[in-house]
Amino acid sequence: MIRTVSQFLLSSTSFYMRTVPKRACQTVAYGYKHANDQIQYLKSVINENDEINDWPCIKSKVLAIPGTINPKNIDAVLLKILINDKKLNIAQSFAEYLLSFRGELNLGATNAILNLYVELNKINKLSDKGRKFIIDTFKHINYTYQVPDSTTCERLLHALCAINEWHKAMKVLDDIHASCTPTHSAFSTVIATLFKANKKMMAYKLIDKSISLQRPLLDVAYEEWINFILREHKHKKTITKYLDELCSHVSRNFIVIPEKAAEKLMGAYETVGWNAKMTKINKNNGQCFNCNAKLDCLKLSEDEFQLLQSIIKDKLIVGSDLFLKTSPDELKRFISFVEQTAPYDIVLDALNVSYAVGKYSNDRIGLLTYVVEHFQARNMKILLLGRKHMLSWPRMKFVLSRTCNFFTDNLSQDDPFFISAALLSGPHTDFVSRDLLRGHRFKLQNEQLIHLFQRWQWQHQWKVFTGGFRPPIVQPPLSVTPCAQKNDSTWHVPFERADATVTSFGQIKDGTPDWASWLCLQPPLR
């Protein structure tokens, strides 16, 4: 038999309950010093009860405990705890209690109820009362706020998508754009809802927009995309055509898909008779462990490199702070230096390389010397780029005598200098840096240029790693392009495992997909 709250308050032997008088709703001053005592009390009540009826009593006792929960935020906090603890039935009871009043809910409580309805809809189709609350909230927010806050919009968007109100969700997505870039979740949820509603072309347009804003799709969008393909098409050849279209999207945008999406994609190809397996790729030669095919190296064509190079030149000439933050005099000195000394075989990001030994190590010059000698032994012309304070390092004269070198002011942002020098030097110039350069790619602000830059980076970036008592590792550029590829009718697609903090083989996190997390999708034998 389920105990009521009053029975619980009287019978529990917990510390909280032993301090509560017999009158269940009497306010008690607990005098606790720690802010989380309110949360602990709430959790103790929630965990001991499967049903709660006396919400005024619970709220009164929480507010009597010193802490950060107050009359304005208590409803939202309580709902959040209930949802996080998967006590959805109790949460629904509390929501109904709140909605029984005629007064207007604050935004915190409104957002919490919207979130609750999203979670409830995952289990069972939402009630008419729930649907009405979501629609009424949409109308109220549009009437009341000229530019609603992004948090409220995000909650409302997910709730509207839960009841398949895609046209209203699109309106809310535009509202989010008014103040910030929508999240990955916002884009993917609306895209998934559009596919559910068979709005294919609208979904495709929103996918393009999402990618252009650096918001790769989440698994929910891929799942509904694949569901749409399997639902709309019955012939294996047609299904394969549109699954290949999805893979082409992944390849074109250098996307690493989520693990759940990989599993869904693998299952979809299996339905049309393909041999779909999770596999590993040999990092050294790009060979698939499953089918033995090799990934290609997608080198930049001469026109593609010249396009990327011209963008860098244009930004340097106008001195745009989008890419190269420096003074006009330093910029002029740098351009003149490159024109006189280029081309180079290798460009060193000297400060980045030297700090590979650790922030507090005193042997930075030792590592820098090791790397310079590594390339000097290969008869490579070296450009060393650093900051002026490095000139005071001991043994720096030895490094200077074996390189071309340029030192920026100490306050200059040095990363763009080595990128610019390497690109201006020509298509055969490599560079050395441990920087993943994500921020610099994004600043190009053009999808085509970002992809060209990524391919150039993979084919020209050396990295230096240290660790333990072994000699430093000078890792050469990749010999293959680690993106989804179709090789002799077989697709190889990288995916990211749910626990992405752990990579197979103890792989160093170097900005490339985990070589042990790929799909091999082979067509049936004829």
Give the pLDDT score at 36.
83
Boundaries of every domain in the chain:
240-297+482-522, 302-469
| 41 vs 339: CA distance, rounded Å | 70
Q: Quote the pLDDT of residue 443.
A: 72
User: Would you report the helix, strand and coil content of the chain in percent, each value rounded to 5?
Assistant: 55, 10, 35
Per-residue pLDDT at 37: 87
CA atoms within 13 A on the CB side of 252: 12
| Per-residue confidence (pLDDT) for residue 49, from 0 to 100 | 77
The pLDDT of residue 31:
39
pLDDT, residue 167, reads 97
CATH level 3 topology of 302-469: Rossmann fold (3.40.50)
Q: What is the pLDDT of residue 449?
A: 87
**pLDDT tens profile 421-446:** 999 999 999 999 988 887 777 677 77
pLDDT at 507: 44
Task: Report CA-CA distances (Å) from 131 to 125, 142, 199, 216.
Answer: 10, 17, 22, 30
What pLDDT does residue 15 have? 32
Residue ranges, the chain, pLDDT below 50: 1-33, 319, 322, 502-508
Task: Please state whether beta strands 346-349 and 382-387 pair in parallel, antiparallel, or not at all (unpaired).
Answer: parallel
Residues 6+ apart with CB under 8 A from 226: 243, 246, 264, 265, 268
Determine the straight-line distance between the first and last CA of the chain, rounded to whole angstroms: 65
Long-range CB contacts (within 8 A, 24+) of 236-244: 236/272, 236/273, 239/268, 239/271, 239/272, 240/269, 240/272, 240/274, 240/523, 243/268, 243/269, 243/272, 244/486, 244/491
| pLDDT tens string 44-83 | 888 887 788 889 999 999 999 988 899 999 999 999 999 9
* Residue 10 confidence (pLDDT): 33
* pLDDT score recorded for residue 45: 86
Query: What's residue 23's pLDDT?
Result: 33
- pLDDT, tens digit (0-9, with 9 covering 90-100), for 136-184: 999 999 888 887 889 999 999 999 999 999 999 999 999 999 889 999 9
- CA 249 – CA 456 distance, rounded (Å): 20
* Tens-place pLDDT, residues 328-367: 788 889 989 999 999 999 999 999 999 888 765 668 899 9
User: What is the C-alpha to C-alpha distance for residues 186 and 153, in angstroms, rounded to an integer?
Assistant: 9
CA 63 to chain centre: 38
